[in-house]
Amino acid sequence: MINIHDDFLDKKEFAKVSKNILGEWFPWYFNDNGVYPGDGHWQFVHSFYTKNQPSSQFIELTRDLVPENSVLIRIKANCTTKAESPSQLPFHIDCTWLEREYTTSIFYVNTNNGFTVFENGEKIESVANRLITFPSSMKHTGITSTDDRRVLINFNYFE
């Protein structure tokens, strides 16, 4: 089951998050694959939280995006640049090393014509300040945008 929450953050908090992440001084790191090594895609990433600890000075930006009392696994931002034509990355689950169910959330930082698609065919448009939440076992993928970069924050956690 996919839950969609539009206008997830209040306007002031969303402005703070988007201004920082979309700003010229936010550190993005080149990743030469979109999902799997050799998948023919690339993106820029920023790791906020990994291996049981914060990994970014910007971790505070994600504070209001994760449910209280959840146990974090990973928080990572993805940025795909504007493409000439839409391109689909491989279907995947995020943390394949975990042997139990967890929750995945995606927070869209900007509006663009890219989207998230699930293996069952359901499509979710990339709309700024939208949060979607779903069970980790649901395979999903991203479709690149042709009108702007596509920026989102991906969360994996135990509830």
Report residue 35's pLDDT band, with 50, 70 and 90 as the boundaries: low
Q: Which of 28-32, 70-74, 81-85, 108-112 is most confident? A: 108-112
Q: Which helix (H) or strand (E) holds 130?
A: strand 130-135
Burial of 38 (0-12, 13-18, 19+ CB in 10 A): exposed
pTM recorded for the entire structure: 0.92
Residue 126 tokens read as 């990339």
What mean pLDDT is predicted for residues 27-36?
73
Task: Characterise 19 by phi-psi region: left (phi > 0), alpha (psi -120 to 50), beta (else).
Answer: alpha
pLDDT given at position 19: 97
What mean pLDDT is predicted for residues 39-68?
85
What mean pLDDT is predicted for residues 25-42?
71
As beta bridge partners, residue 53 has 50
pLDDT given at position 141: 93
pLDDT given at position 155: 93
Alpha helices (H) along 5-152: 11-21
**Which amino acid does the sequence have at 141?**
T
Report residue 52's pLDDT band, with 50, 70 and 90 as the boundaries: confident
Domains along the sequence of the chain with CATH = 3-22+42-158 (2.60.120.620)
- Angle among Cα 78, 81, 87 to the nearest 5 degrees reads 90
HSE-up (13 A, CA, CB side) for residue 156: 21
Percent of the chain, pLDDT > 90? 69
pLDDT given at position 36: 45
Report the sign of the C-alpha dihedral through residues 141, 96, 74, 102, in that order.
Answer: positive
